Structure 1
Amino acid sequence: MGSKHSKGTTSTSDPVPFESGRIPLAALQEATNNFDNKYLIGEGGFGNIYRGVLCDGTKVALKRRKLESRQSIEEFRTEIEMLSQLRHPHLVSWMGYCDENNEMILIYEYMENGTLRSHLYGSDLPTMRWEQRLEICIGVARGLHYLHTSGIIHCDVKSTNILLDENFVPKITDFGLSKKAPELEQTHACNRFISSEGAGLAQTPSQLKQSIDPKLQGKVRPDSLRKFGETAVKCLAYSGVDRPSMGPVLWNLEYALHLQEPVIQENSSIPIGELSLQINDFSHVDASSNAAQIGTLNSYISL
């Protein structure tokens, strides 16, 4: 876990008890040319995100808290605590932090292909194939299954918090709102339902009239799309007791990919819109559920 930059810094902010991961501010300033805007790659509620290269050549992404950010040191601590203890191919790798000179900076592995959202909605990027979208959803489901079996709920799954590496392998990021099972029992005991807005997303197949990405026309097998749609609808059930756990969700997504594998003929696809979902960037789905989070992501993938 440690880094060669981990020693000998003085923190003027509330100390975080993870000394082995502390990286000096000077090393991060050097990696980003003192946080030059040309290194800026994103912005979130916590602050700006920069790309950088450490002195040993390691590419990193740095999430630097803005002074005016409403997100507290508790979220900073939570992110460090979660990622310093978790290891999975579909969770972004945490490399360290800096809390020197009142800074709060989190350091991660750099993900070459950015956020999933940029590929779903970016007009200047190549269209993602249906198989590729399913593979991404499966990877995220595996990451969430690992978290849930570890007693952790992410609480903020959305397309901006799914990052893609150079091979388009998805990794979940942003753990500042995550909760452990005991905390969930205390804070979410009266909140086991999706909001009315979320429930409205779970339409029956006959009601799913809106189009998936028009560029996928003729490239999606009907049985694969049908299995995908059924899975998303189950994940968005109003009551938590009616939503599947991540194990069955993962199996269904893998089966949907299996159904897509045969050679696709133009006349084998169903018309666009027969079994597709209309989804907004909806991140407030009930966090106490095991499956509602992946239901939202499932729906993203059909856009």
Structure 2
Amino acid sequence: MAISIGITRGIQFLHTGVAPGIFGNNIKIENILLDDSLNAKVSGYKIPLPSNHIDRYISAYYGLPHPLFNDIAEKEDIYQLGVILLEVITGKAITSASEVEDLKDELERGLSEAASVLREVTDPTIKGSYAYESLRTTVQITINCLSKVSSMRPSVEDVLWNLQYSIQVQENWTSSGNLGTKM
């Protein structure tokens, strides 16, 4: 989960830490690098052209004014972050949009039906090593990131807050001696 937070912080920095923000980054798990301390580094992002070139390019290609493009691209980055989180939760490499939808549907079913259903979708290598509430929080924010309606996707700050909350729940659960118990 700490790596997922690192990825989210990297995206947050690209969006808000530089002016103008860098959006539409084609974020995928292959573009996430880890250093020796397992800190996530986002690579493969697009450095924007000077503003006057961008405005002409966007207007010509998309027919959209520049600020509107940034809003769309920001929400697309959130969707792509959701795909990465989905891969982390399930432990499965995702190669198509239909796989994203199928796994998202399984997670939604797991949230609405029973904890055992949600646990079955989870990466087998982490079963029994997480707090259920931590998993629920992470799954819910992932589902929100994958919303088909881009305006319904959370901000990068909301994703970061929920992932940090999930870590706090996990740390409290682990420190109370639950790590060795079966879920």
Shift, 1:174, TM fit: 1.3
Identity %: 29
Q: Which residue identity lines up with residue 241 of structure 1 in the other structure?
A: S
What SS does the aligned partner of 2:134 have? helix
Q: 1:216 to 1:241 in 2, by over 3 A?
A: same
Classify 1:217/1:154 alpha carbon distance in 2 versus 1 (closer, same or farther; 3 Å): same
Match of 2:161 in 1: 251
Mapping of residues 91-102 of structure 1, within 5 Å: none
CA deviation profile, 1:157-204 (whole Å, cap 9, x unmatched): 1111111111101101112x4557956964555995879635554331
The alpha carbon displacement at 1:244 in A equals: 0.7
Match for 1:258: what amino acid? Q
Unaligned runs of 5+ in 2: 80-95
3-state SS of the aligned residue for 2:122? coil
Shift of 1:230: 0.4
**How far, CA to CA, are the matches of 2:58 and 2:13 in structure 1?**
19
Q: Alignment partner for residue 26 of structure 2, among 156, 162, 166?
A: 156
CA distance in 2, matches of 1:148, 1:227: 23
Structure 2 matches for 1:175-190, cutoff 5 A? 175=45, 177=46, 186=59, 187=61, 189=64
**Structure 1 unaligned runs (5+)?**
1-133, 270-303
Task: Give the distance between the partners of 2:38 and 2:47, measured in 1 at CA.
Answer: 24
Deviations 1:46-101 (A, max 9, x none): xxxxxxxxxxxxxxxxxxxxxxxxxxxxxxxxxxxxxxxxxxxxxxxxxxxxxxxx
Shift of 1:259: 0.6
* 8 Å CA contact retained: 1:147, 1:154: no
Aligned length: 135
Instruction: Tell me if the contact between 2:32 and 2:43 (Cα under 8 Å) persists in the aligned partners.
Output: yes
TM-score, structure 2 length as denominator?
Answer: 0.61
Assess if the C-alpha contact under 8 Å between 1:199 and 1:237 holds in 2.
no
Match of 2:104 among 202, 219, 235: 202
Measure how far apart 1:226 and its partner are. Answer: 0.5
Q: Residue 11 of structure 2 aligns with which residue?
A: 144
TM-score relative to the length of structure 1: 0.38
- Give the structure with the higher percent helix: 2
Which amino acid is 1:138 matched to? I
CA contact (8 A) 1:155 1:179 kept: no
Aligned equivalents of 1:265, 1:232: Cα separation in 2: 24
CA distance in 2, matches of 1:219, 1:166: 24
For the residues of structure 2 that align with 1:236 and 1:260, how far apart are their CA atoms?
A: 23
Instruction: Kindly report which structure 2 residues correspond to 1:117-132, keeping only aligned pairs within 5 A, or say none.
Output: none
The amino acid that maps onto 1:256 is S
1:231 and 1:249 in contact (8 A); partners too: yes
Q: Which amino acid letter does the alignment assign opposite residue 151 of structure 2?
A: V
What SS is found at the alignment partner of 1:152?
A: coil
Superposed displacement of residue 268, structure 1 = 6.0
Tell me the C-alpha RMSD between the 2 structures: 3.2
Query: Max radius of gyration: which structure?
Result: 1
Contact 1:138–1:253 (Cα < 8 Å) also in 2: yes
Q: Structure 1's 153 and 200: CA in aligned 2 closer, same or farther, altered over 3 A? A: farther
